[in-house]
Chains A and B, each alone.
Chain A
Amino acid sequence: MSVAPADVAKIATLARIKVTEAELSAMVPELNGILAWVEQLGEVDVTGVEPMTAVIPNHLRLRADVVGADPLTGGDIRDKVLANAPAPEHGFFGVPKVIE
């Protein structure tokens, strides 16, 4: 499978990355080169093979159901959460108008 400029433009939209026409035309052959190379995986016989889900067997744990049990990941740190926001407003993350 290979991608055309329109496909790359669509992927870029899905990925929320604005690309110029010049960037787009440079990316098409690069992405096609990489895609043609990874397509050799199609020749591997994977009949009956399960896709990898975890490289090292592990079990999922549940944390104790206690608010703020770990102060690093607990709540009540609004100002710290907002400290790096580009546009905090009234204790919230500020964003441009969403409803047209």
Chain B
Amino acid sequence: MSELTELGIAAIRDGVAKGDFTATEVAGAFNAAVAEANPALNAFIVTTPDHALAAAAKVDAARSSGQPLGKLAGVPIGMKDLFATEGVQTTAASHILEGFIPPYESTVSQKLWDAGAGMLGKLNLDQFAMGSSNETSAFGNVISPWRATGDTAARAPGGSSGGSSSAVAARIAAAATGTDTGGSIRQPAAFTGISGIKPTYGRCSRWGIVAFASSLDQAGPMARDVTDCAIMLEAMAGFDPKDSTSLDLPVPQWSTNLSDDLKGLKVGIPREYRLDGLNADVAKSWDDGIAWLKDAGAQVVDISLPHTRYALPTYYIIAPAEASSNLARYDGVRYGLRELPEGAGLQDMYAATRAAGFGPEVKRRILIGTYVLSAGFYDAYYTQAQKVRTLIARDFENAFKEVDVILTPTAPTSAFALGEKTSDPLEMYLNDVFSVPASLAGLPAMSVPAGLDGAGLPLGLHLIGRPFDEQGVLNAGLAIERRAGFAAKPAKWW
């Protein structure tokens, strides 16, 4: 039954509803695919085949008794291990949370189960979502199913949602949840030839998601195509009183309103994103994207986002500052790891626990964050960064007076090899150059596959929309998807 794993959300849901196959058959096929591939890809930290089968049995029973089926009825998905799942270990890929069993369910995951989805397992990620290659996980690197032509070197699946991207691209999950703080949905989607959308800040509840940088963190779907992203986002989004930044707005029916007719739409091309020495394949795919959107009826306009070059340094002050505060909760007292050296007092226990529990990148960011928030430096670093963030958001506000959506590449290169960028943290940070500005401005943004580069690796195109205009982003994404005709899949080597 391996062909069932070729199906995405819409095809599975419709096939189950019509009775072409049962949800139990689908769950069984994906469980088997996970069991076969995970030793090679390391996409899942834990697998939960029983959860997937139990959810499927409920859907099959509901169908045979004629009850209405949910938006994701019978769809087995992977859950990024940043979402608290009741009774199932939740680690944020950190040793400090190893063995933590949440006694509650995150709002977003609960909504997905309520919509009829089942869980294949908890997906690996960069530790506390800090990384762009999934090489900071305490549970080992995730391997991308993609390989460059004529090369067997392990490629990065992107990060931080690297388990999610790897699993969806390898067809061992129909879709997966991701979270995006500075590009953690979009960059991995681009690296693995799948689609992913970060909605407007506040669309998806952050309640029950392990916090990294609270003013930036947003959950979103990662799936095979734009339609699947729209369906899954409808199930994930919605007001939640338990998150003080949750948007109290109705959830639009994005999937039913999808249209690739872009007549009258204005698409902005920001000149500051055309970096000196931009990779030629990336530049070409950007030009292809412009041609496709024109073909769909859009008018293309040259725009300026003058503070673009300051977005990354702004992000690398604000995100670590918020992280240093959020991660103060890991103290060895209430949950997670405790290191208590012989004769140690409370302060020594804190320091020993955090030294043993956090990985090097997490420590680096906590120290940077602590420094930029410390007395004497707060104004020079943190306040200055928050002011520049205002200017970056204003750049977008001004651009959206002229245009409806903005098109850029998702990442400056295709997937690099594992180990290629781990020696210099700054070089890794630069991989998020195109995705971070939209995060700082809280805007909806998505990556869709555009084609393969010269090495046979996927490239993504990135669409940024006005606040609350996920529809505009999804429609432009659909227009690209239909014209790019991206059908490449990683050859199975595992």
Are the C-beta atoms of A55 and B441 separated by less than 8 Å?
A: yes
Are the C-beta atoms of B442 and A85 separated by less than 8 Å?
A: no
Q: Name B341's closest neighbour in chain A (CB-CB).
A: A18
Among A17, A63, A97, find the residue whose CB has the most chain B CB atoms closer than 10 A. Answer: A17
Contact of A55 among B103, B346, B347, B393 (CB under 8 A): B393
A45 to chain B, nearest CB (A): 9
Question: A85 vs B330: C-alpha distance in the bound complex, in angstroms?
Answer: 11
The 10 residue pairs across chains A and B that have the minimum distance between CB atoms? A55-B442, A51-B386, A84-B335, A86-B338, A18-B351, A18-B355, A46-B387, A80-B103, A52-B389, A16-B350
Q: Which residues of A contact B181 (CB under 8 A)?
A: none
Contact flag A49-B387 (CB < 8 Å), given A8-B367, A38-B381, A72-B242: yes
Question: A4 vs B245: C-alpha distance in the bound complex, in angstroms?
Answer: 39
Are the C-beta atoms of B317 and A38 separated by less than 8 Å?
A: yes
Q: Is A75 an interface residue, CB under 8 A from the partner?
A: no
Are the C-beta atoms of B340 and A51 separated by less than 8 Å?
A: no
Question: A46 vs B387: C-alpha distance in the bound complex, in angstroms?
Answer: 6
13 contacts between A and B (CB under 8 A): A15-B354, A17-B358, A33-B424, A34-B425, A37-B313, A41-B317, A44-B391, A49-B391, A56-B467, A63-B241, A86-B332, A95-B349, A96-B349
Q: Name B246's closest neighbour in chain A (CB-CB).
A: A58
Among B248, B389, B441, find the residue whose CB has the most chain A CB atoms closer than 10 A. Answer: B389
**B356-407 CB contacts (< 8 Å) to partner A:** 358, 363-364, 366-368, 370-372, 374, 377, 380-381, 383-391, 393
Contact flag A14-B425 (CB < 8 Å), given A38-B317, A73-B242: no
Question: A1 vs B242: C-alpha distance in the bound complex, in angstroms?
Answer: 41
Are the C-beta atoms of A44 and B310 separated by less than 8 Å?
A: yes
Contact of A27 among B332, B336, B364 (CB under 8 A): B364
Question: A33 vs B383: C-alpha distance in the bound complex, in angstroms?
Answer: 21
Are the C-beta atoms of B316 and A34 separated by less than 8 Å?
A: yes
Q: Name B99's closest neighbour in chain A (CB-CB).
A: A84
Q: Is B307 an interface residue, CB under 8 A from the partner?
A: yes
Question: A41 vs B331: C-alpha distance in the bound complex, in angstroms?
Answer: 33
Contact of B346 among A12, A38, A96 (CB under 8 A): A96
Contact of B374 among A14, A37, A81, A97 (CB under 8 A): A14
Are the C-beta atoms of A11 and B364 separated by less than 8 Å?
A: no
Are the C-beta atoms of B441 and A51 separated by less than 8 Å?
A: no
Q: Is B100 an interface residue, CB under 8 A from the partner?
A: yes
A56 to chain B, nearest CB (A): 5
Question: A52 vs B358: C-alpha distance in the bound complex, in angstroms?
Answer: 30
Are the C-beta atoms of A56 and B391 separated by less than 8 Å?
A: no
A73 to chain B, nearest CB (A): 6
B-contact bits for A23-43, CB 8 A (1 contact / 0 none): 000010011011101111110
Q: Is B139 an interface residue, CB under 8 A from the partner?
A: no
Q: Name A14's closest neighbour in chain B (CB-CB).
A: B370
Contact flag A97-B345 (CB < 8 Å), given A37-B426, A55-B441: yes
Contact of B370 among A15, A39, A80, A96 (CB under 8 A): A15
Q: Is A67 an interface residue, CB under 8 A from the partner?
A: no
B47 to chain A, nearest CB (A): 22
Q: Which residues of B contact A44 (CB under 8 A)?
A: 307, 310, 384, 387-388, 391
Question: A87 vs B340: C-alpha distance in the bound complex, in angstroms?
Answer: 11
A24 to chain B, nearest CB (A): 10
Are the C-beta atoms of A15 and B442 separated by less than 8 Å?
A: no
Q: Which residues of A contact B248 (CB under 8 A)?
A: 61
Q: Which residues of A contact B440 (CB under 8 A)?
A: 55
Q: Is A70 an interface residue, CB under 8 A from the partner?
A: yes
Q: What residues make up the interface of B, taking CB atoms closer than 8 Å to A?
A: 100-101, 103-104, 200-202, 215, 241-242, 244-245, 247-248, 307, 310, 313-314, 316-317, 324, 328, 331-338, 340, 344-352, 354-355, 358, 363-364, 366-368, 370-372, 374, 377, 380-381, 383-391, 393, 424-426, 440-442, 467
Q: Name B391's closest neighbour in chain A (CB-CB).
A: A49
Q: Is A66 an interface residue, CB under 8 A from the partner?
A: no
Dominant secondary structure at the B interface: helix
Q: Which residues of B contact A3 (CB under 8 A)?
A: 371
Q: Is A83 an interface residue, CB under 8 A from the partner?
A: yes
Contact of B345 among A70, A84, A93, A98 (CB under 8 A): A98
Q: Is A100 an interface residue, CB under 8 A from the partner?
A: yes
B-contact bits for A52-65, CB 8 A (1 contact / 0 none): 11111010110100
Q: Which residues of A contact B201 (CB under 8 A)?
A: 55-56
B132 to chain A, nearest CB (A): 15
> Told that A11-B370, A41-B388 touch, could you supply 4 new A-B pairs with CB distance under 8 A?
A8-B367, A19-B355, A55-B215, A86-B335
Are the C-beta atoms of A41 and B333 separated by less than 8 Å?
A: no
Q: Name A64's closest neighbour in chain B (CB-CB).
A: B241
Q: Name B371's closest neighbour in chain A (CB-CB).
A: A11
Question: A35 vs B317: C-alpha distance in the bound complex, in angstroms?
Answer: 9
Q: Is A50 an interface residue, CB under 8 A from the partner?
A: yes
Contact of A95 among B333, B335, B389 (CB under 8 A): B333
Q: Which residues of A contact B352 (CB under 8 A)?
A: 18
Q: Name B347's closest neighbour in chain A (CB-CB).
A: A16
Contact flag A18-B244 (CB < 8 Å), given A42-B384, A56-B442: no
Contact of B336 among A42, A83, A86 (CB under 8 A): A86
Contact of B355 among A17, A84, A93 (CB under 8 A): A17
Question: A3 vs B130: C-alpha distance in the bound complex, in angstroms?
Answer: 23
B438 to chain A, nearest CB (A): 10
Are the C-beta atoms of A42 and B241 separated by less than 8 Å?
A: no
Question: A65 vs B196: C-alpha distance in the bound complex, in angstroms?
Answer: 39
B420 to chain A, nearest CB (A): 18
